[in-house]
Structures are given as structure tokens and as C-alpha cells.
Structure 1
Amino acid sequence: MTAGKTRVAAVLTAVLLVSACGGSDEAPRLMRLQASGDGPDEFSILPTKPLEMPADMSALPEPVRGAPNLVDPRPLDDAVIALGGRPGAGGADAALVAAAGRNGIDPNVRQTLAAEDEAFRKKNSPRLLERLFNRSSYQRVYSDQTTQSYEELERWRAAQARTPSAPPKDSGR
């Protein structure tokens, strides 16, 4: 290799390293996800509730084009019911509001969490090679906060708790 080519290679390497070290004032992105195309959005597909035969067929609502189906998922209503509230009552459901605020309410919770999250992401920013090769640092950063799923599954099974969505015991893991 000639001296000129060596200098060019050294300059390009130095530029590449310096550009990889550059950053911005915004919090680092731990997940480096990019859409691979215009394919379907797998999160837009929601499972429906099981079909049920009503006790009285005359109790069924009249079909209306575009109206919600009885078996369509209603996650907000399901969450309200799980907390002991009445779906559709909104802020007028005193029991639900009392249950949600039983441990106190911080009016600045969103700002507090956003500031804490930004500080955590800055403290655990992607490393040089992760940035250089556009790799995700999410798993490394949050590994201390993850649940060991099989250990947790065994703990619940030892407590005789039902685990219907878990794989069977003889799944060969």
C-alpha cells in the first residue's frame, strides 16, 4: 500500500470514529427499530371474544353498518370492569375514581416519569459499537429489570396458581 493510500485510509477511519462519537442533546434511542416495508401492522389485529348464544334472540340489537360488534374487544371497558367500575361512566364512576386514587395522586406524574426516563436513558446510552453498527442496546440496558419468565412460572405453579396461557409442564424446555 502506498503512503497516499495509507493516509487516505487513516483519515477516513478517523472521520468515521469521530462521527460515531458525535451525539445530540436529546435522550438516546435504546431501540433501533426501522420499518422494513409497507406490510401489515400486526398490532392492529385484535382477537375477538368468543361467540355466545343469547338467552333471548329478541334482546339482540338491530344490525347497523359500522356499529361495534358484541364480540369486538373493548379493552378500556374490560380494564374498568377489572377495577370494579362501570363501563361508560367515565369520571362519574366514584368507586373507580376512589380505587384508582387510593394511594394518592401526583398531578405531575407524567413530567416526573418523563424526566426519570430521560435521565435513565442518558445514563445508559448506547455504546460506541452499538451506535456504529446501529444495534439496539435495549436488552443490555433493561436486563436487570426483566422477569425470568420460567422461574416466575415455576413459582406460580408451586403456589398452585392456574397458568392457562403458559406452555404445558412437559413442553420440553
Structure 2
Amino acid sequence: MPRTLIILALVALTACGSRQDTEDRDTGLRELRNASGAPEEFSIVPAKPLQTPETFAELPPPTPGGANRTDQTPLKDAVAVLGGSPARLDPQTGIGAGDQAIVARASRFGRQPGIRAELAAEDQAFRERRSMFNWRLVPSDTYNRIYRNQTLDPYSSLATARRAGALTPTAPPE
């Protein structure tokens, strides 16, 4: 009997411990960041070296809160190394010339302007509803646990498409 009480007390204490599930935070479903609070050594990036222009007329006007010429741009640098155009990562007022055709095709039946914010709010509400009944002693993947009922079976979808006469690529065996 005392052993059972000790085991029950240990289980109760571990259940009261702090959980680091992402469903309790508004940071997303899959957390890849350092959650310990310690500094991340790979996130510290030194500034680019200062450059003196030939004339001060070449200096851009200051933009409070804007980018600095010495700020690191790792994403743009990676795009440039891979052969892309880093300028396409800059915020644009409109749709870039390279993307106009795909946006026109995707929005041929109309589009809703605030759809991203609306879907994010609905998804957050769905995750909050599901988190009440999603308690686990052993932490697991929150994303797969919450959206388990919404996943598609690829082989049944493939069979349905083939029965309908659609040309489908081959698939690996189940």
C-alpha cells in the first residue's frame, strides 16, 4: 500500500510540472527555438563593416526604424548565393512582375482581402478548443496530435483519383 501511494504521489507531482507545449504559447505549433532562455550562439551576428562614401550626397536619407546599411541580411545573402534576386525579399507595395500571373490565376474566382488574419484567428480558436482535451503525461508532437482527424490518407485519395479516371503518378507501396 505505501508503494502505491508513493507512486501515485510521484505521478501527481510530475503532472503538475511545467509543460513546454507550444499550444500554451502563441509562437506557433512547432517550436524550433531555444526554450531554455539561454543565449543562442548562432543568432549573434556581427554587423557589416562601415563604409565611407566618396561624397555625402550618396548617403540615403535616414529612416527611423528602417534598415541600416551595416545590418546583416542573412536571408538576402542566402538568396543571392543560391542565384536568386535578393531585391524580391524587400517589402513591396504591389505584386511583383514575376508573381502577377500566378496571383491572377489563383484569384480568378475572387479573393478575400483579410483571409490570412481570419484563418489565423480561426486556427487559434480551434487549437484552444482542442487543447482542453489534449492532455498527455508524456510530451508529443502538438501539431500531429491536434490535426490528426484532418489529415488525408494519401493512398485512399490516390485510389479515388484513379477510379475517377485522373492520370496519377506512381506511388510507393503502402
Report the TM-score, using the length of structure 1 for normalisation.
Answer: 0.45
Larger RCO (CA within 8 A; separation ≥ 6)? 1
Q: Relative to total residues, which structure has the larger helix share, 1 or 2? A: 1
Report the TM-score, using the length of structure 2 for normalisation.
Answer: 0.45
